[in-house]
Amino acid sequence: MEAVFKTQRLLLRYANEHDAAMLLTLVNQPNFIKYIGDKAIYTHSDAKRYIEQSFRAAHKHQGFGPYIITLHNGEVVGVVGFYKRDVLQLPDLGFALLTRYEKNGYIFEAAKALLQNRHTLGIKQVSAICTANNIASQCVLLKLGFNRVGKAVINNDKTAVIIYGY
């Protein structure tokens, strides 16, 4: 599938049904559940439905959404994208990697490319949210140029998240 955005090492592309197995693995990793939450995606069918309802629908209705991150050889490493949440005024940057690809700078590289191209998606300002104990993601956000602007409770579990602005 054709890349929407390219970097030196990565391609960002739209999700398709062939990404369901990777997505199923990604969202059920311990760190994903710990820092992002349980998305209740437990089967291949759940993952395909999630791709349709969250990835494809977002791009269709908002003009932006999550992308699949691959290496230039097509190997899938994770996801990055802009998300529109009812509880936030601005689209927020979100990302996740398969564990075996962490600590290679892939999220920084993919997120930077997305931020640099946000205007082509009709996005001027961006936010990001992060749990207080997710130090790695906080470091990525700060390195990207985000600033901490406050805290908010946005989930049913009543845990405060840190809000960043860009």
pLDDT tens digits for range 27-69: 999 999 999 989 999 999 999 999 999 999 999 999 999 999 9
Whole-model pTM: value is 0.92
Q: Using the predicted structure, report yes or no on whether residue 158 has a pLDDT greater than 80.
A: no
The candidate with the shortest Cα–Cα distance to 116, out of 76, 80, 70, is 80
Percent of the chain past pLDDT 90, that is, above it, reads: 87
